[in-house]
Amino acid sequence: MSDEVIVVGGGVIGLTTALTLAERGLRVRVWSRAPVTGTTSAVAGALWWPYRIEPAAEVGDWSLESLRVYEKLSADPVATGVRVVPGVHADVALADLGDWAREVSGLRQLAGPEVPGPSGTGLAARLPLIDMPVHLEWLRGRLEAAGGVVERRAVTGFAEAARSARVVVDCAGLGARELVPDAGLRPVRGQLVLVENPGIEEWFTAADAASSETTYFFPQPGRMILGGTAQEGDERLDPDPATAAEIVARCARIRPEIADARVLGHRVGLRPARVGGVRIAAEPLPSGGRLVHNYGHGGAGVTVAWGCARRAADLVCA
């Protein structure tokens, strides 16, 4: 057993946590079952916004910490994949948001005629929009520059990692359902369609948290991401053609030019939602070491990544 820290999970939560630890001077290895660009995080849209995540009392602080980081990273969008982009959240009222919204500059309530589509209200904003494949590679590169290592390795249990390190950090996402085990974890299936961008520069969302259907489009370099779904308990990883057609049709009702955009591909990811919300906690390992959990981020892992990473790192270093 060494004084290294092993982080299990190579998505945005795992890489951000590992990087935070490495930049605090710890020796860190990431064990990831898939390449970083093959993780669930790589499928994400990914717009900064607290969406489908609990507990509300802590999400605001985690989100704002992450927002400040992304705002700085947006100064070099080609390298980091982070841009600040204008857009509209339909069916959102500023008065219904938590205290965190007061700390987000530029939020503006819209009247009905200003909102695209049939919505009667909405919110204009300029928010970080992250090109996830680029961002994940940037995180890995910065981690390696700080002395960290990313290894392709499937993990069958935390005891396996504990034989090599005194501290193990669980950033396994949905995989924590079996590894912990945690029966409160459940998949929320998200299906996306990638199309050529027909010239749209602003993002749009209409996402009812009580519905399995959402409507959004995010302009990313070289493509536009159309969404989406939020199908709880559905673990299908293959794209459904009928669902894809419905996604395109919903987005085209907001911007008709999307209907004729050439389809580039399809993506499916399983968001790791958890009853009770995000779990950031420490417990002893039978080997005498420590296991720190950081999982259950639902549909907002990107939004809270840095805030949660710092909380988990505090537990590692305690």
For the record, the structure tokens of 9 come out as: 């999970």
Mean pLDDT, rounded, of the chain: 96
> Which pLDDT belongs to residue 318?
86
Rounded-to-integer distance, Cα 227 and Cα 142, Å: 30
Helices (H), the chain: 12-22, 56-73, 77-80, 132-145, 158-162, 176-179, 241-254, 301-317
The model's pLDDT over 51-65, given as tens digits with 9 standing for 90+, comes to: 889 999 999 999 999
Q: Answer whether residue 147 shows pLDDT above 70.
A: yes
Question: 263: which strand partners?
Answer: 195
Q: Answer whether residue 291 shows pLDDT above 90.
A: yes
Angle between helices 132-145 and 12-22 (to 10 degrees): 20
> Which pLDDT belongs to residue 211?
84
**Amino acid letter at 195?**
V
Q: Answer whether residue 112 shows pLDDT above 90.
A: no
> Which pLDDT belongs to residue 284?
96
**What's the pLDDT band for 207 if we cut at 50, 70, 90?**
confident
Q: What percent of the chain has pLDDT over 70?
A: 99
**Mean pLDDT of all residues in 132-142:** 98
**What's the pLDDT band for 153 if we cut at 50, 70, 90?**
very high
**Mean pLDDT of all residues in 127-156:** 97
Q: Answer whether residue 8 shows pLDDT above 90.
A: yes
Question: 223: which strand partners?
Answer: 220
> Which pLDDT belongs to residue 287?
85
The model's pLDDT over 15-39, given as tens digits with 9 standing for 90+, comes to: 999 999 999 999 999 999 999 999 9
Residue 186 carries which DSSP code? Answer: E
Q: Answer whether residue 156 shows pLDDT above 60.
A: yes
For the record, the structure tokens of 316 come out as: 């590692």
Contact 295, 176 (CB under 8 A): yes
Q: Answer whether residue 192 shows pLDDT above 70.
A: yes
For the record, the structure tokens of 200 come out as: 């749209």
The CA dihedral of 196, 271, 155, 284, to the nearest 10 degrees, is 140
Contact 29, 14 (CB under 8 A): no
The backbone region for 234, taken as left when phi is positive above 0, alpha when psi lies in -120 to 50, beta otherwise, is beta
What distance, in Å, lies between the first and last C-alpha atoms of the chain?
A: 19
**Mean pLDDT of all residues in 159-167:** 94
- What length is written for the chain? 318
The model's pLDDT over 224-245, given as tens digits with 9 standing for 90+, comes to: 999 999 999 999 999 999 999 9
The model's pLDDT over 73-97, given as tens digits with 9 standing for 90+, comes to: 999 999 999 999 999 999 999 999 9
For the record, the structure tokens of 198 come out as: 């027909």
**What's the pLDDT band for 2 if we cut at 50, 70, 90?**
low
SS (H, E, C) the chain: CEEEEEEECCCHHHHHHHHHHHCCCCCEEEEECCCHHHCHHHHCCCECCCCCCCCHHHHHHHHHHHHHHHHHHCCCHHHHCEEEEEEEEECCCHHHCCHHHHHCCCCEEECHHHCCCCCCCEEEEEEEEECHHHHHHHHHHHHHHCCCEEEECCCCCHHHHHCCEEEEEECCHHHHHHHCCCCCEEEEEEEEEEECCCCCCCEEEECCCCCCEEEEEEEECCEEEEEEECEECCCCCCCCHHHHHHHHHHHHHHCHHHHHCCEEEEEEEEEEEECCCCEEEEEECCCCCEEEEEECCCCCHHHHHHHHHHHHHHHHHC
Q: Answer whether residue 1 shows pLDDT above 60.
A: no
Peptide bond into 46 cis (omega under 30): yes
**Mean pLDDT of all residues in 250-277:** 97
Q: Answer whether residue 68 shows pLDDT above 70.
A: yes
